[in-house]
Amino acid sequence: MNEQTFEKKKVLQLIHDIKVKQVCGSFDITTKTLQLLKDIISNGKWEHAEELMKTLRIYGHILKDALPQETVVANLVRRILKIIREEFDLLEAKVHHLIDDSQATLSLHKLVTQTSECDVSIDYTKPRSGLKEAILDHLQEIENELEISWESICAQAEQHVHSTEVILTLSHSKNTEHFLKKAIEKRQSLTIIIAECAPACRGHNLAASLASKNAEIIVIPDSAIFAMMSRVNKVIIGTHSVLANGGLRAACGAYTVGLAAKHYSVPVIVLAPMYKLAPIHLCSYQQDAFNSLGNAEGILPYDCVAARSATIYSPIFDYVPPELVTLFISNTGGHAPSYVYRLLTELYHPDDYEI
């Protein structure tokens, strides 16, 4: 009981740190969550896979309910649940087929055909020696993948950006910043147009970080996006999360950029590491579940006359439908929006879509 209480305190502490912005940004949130779940798995006194999965679902449910906008937390829990299933299946295959380690890696086709032929549900309540070590080794691989995810994305900049191009971007994300820095390093005479993304105006932060580089940096107000789009070669933006249909939950203003790009047939490239892929379906009309609101002071000051008789909303996110996206660039390569469903089946088990 004391151990469960200690684990719950660590979960609540993570929730508190994220809510007060001590931990912010999708990468940092994912890294901290991974470390927490690793501690729960390595220090927990569970006896079989079913018990471990039940524990992770409980904590995953707490995290998801407390942080509904941070989809990366639930994504990581889902991915770890699938890893537990895979490692258990592999150990089960070793026992039943008496295979050695060199033959232990089964193909996806072989696992599917074996399951369908046997037509028997797997009993995860059987204790399996070596399961904890196998899971922790797999989690270490995920941690390494996280650390180099932005490097893998930046390595593709040279393939997608060419000299003398005009690129438009929005707001400020770390992935976009690193990607554009790499593009400027590899290509000459680039022009980068940055929409400021009012009222937070985070586009100015991106412009400041790129100002010392060998490229022309232009900051524009959001109202000038459509006017400038006619001279743009491609749009490169980051995103908060990628939804199951290939749509985006991105910074407010991204929908405007997508519509303008579609009008002028400008390709829209979205930088999205794999941990941002979420098996959830939301539309732009489900604002209560989809969006969150920021401070409206930057739009209409509280002490002005109009504020007395007006209700002001300052949404933080935009929903961008998949038909406005040309290409996703992740740490595993480039993918079309229609391919997202396939990536989701590789990352998560269908039984874990709802934690």
Which H/E stretch holds residue 239? none
Percent of the chain surpassing pLDDT 90: 15
Say if 50 falls within a structural domain: yes
Least confident of 37-41, 50-54, 297-301, 340-344: 297-301
Question: Is residue 201 domain-shared with residue 159, that is, in the same domain?
Answer: yes
Question: Is residue 135 domain-shared with residue 165, that is, in the same domain?
Answer: no
Mean pLDDT in the chain?
Answer: 82
Question: Is residue 40 domain-shared with residue 178, that is, in the same domain?
Answer: no
What pLDDT does residue 328 have? 92
What pLDDT does residue 96 have? 66
Distance CA 336, CA 325 (A): 8
What pLDDT does residue 286 have? 55
Domains: count for the chain = 2
Q: What CATH number does residue 272 fall under?
A: 3.40.50.10470
Say if 113 falls within a structural domain: no
What pLDDT does residue 3 have? 60
Say if 198 falls within a structural domain: yes
Say if 49 falls within a structural domain: yes
Question: Is residue 58 domain-shared with residue 153, that is, in the same domain?
Answer: no
Say if 136 falls within a structural domain: yes
Distance CA 323, CA 1 (A): 50
Say if 118 falls within a structural domain: no
What pLDDT does residue 232 have? 93
Return the number of other C-beta atoms located less than 10 Å from residue 71's C-beta: 24
Say if 39 falls within a structural domain: yes
pLDDT of 171 higher than 60? yes
Q: What CATH number does residue 140 fall under?
A: 1.20.120.420
pLDDT of 44 higher than 80? no
- The string over 28-47, giving b where at least 16 C-beta atoms fall within 10 Å of a residue's C-beta and e elsewhere, is ebbbbbbebbbebbeeeebe
Q: Which of 115, 146, 177 is the last residue of a domain?
A: 146
What pLDDT does residue 97 have? 63
Distance CA 248, CA 238 (A): 10
Boundaries of domain holding 20: 3-100+126-146
Contact between 75 and 111 under an 8 Å Cβ cutoff? The reply is: no
Question: Is residue 88 domain-shared with residue 165, that is, in the same domain?
Answer: no
Mean pLDDT to the nearest integer, 34-40 = 88
pLDDT of 81 higher than 80? yes
What pLDDT does residue 288 have? 61
Pairing status of strand 327-330 against strand 268-271: parallel
Q: pLDDT-based confidence at 119, cuts 50/70/90?
A: very low
Q: pLDDT-based confidence at 266, cuts 50/70/90?
A: very high
Least confident of 13-27, 244-258, 302-316, 334-348: 302-316
Question: Is residue 61 domain-shared with residue 26, that is, in the same domain?
Answer: yes
Tokens in use for 236?
């490169």
Say if 315 falls within a structural domain: yes
Helix and strand element counts for the chain (H, E): 14, 10
Q: pLDDT-based confidence at 271, cuts 50/70/90?
A: very high
Question: Is residue 142 domain-shared with residue 243, that is, in the same domain?
Answer: no
What pLDDT does residue 115 have? 45
Q: Is the entire prediction scored with pTM above 0.85?
A: no
Q: Which residues contact 16 (CB under 8 A, 6 or more apart)?
A: none
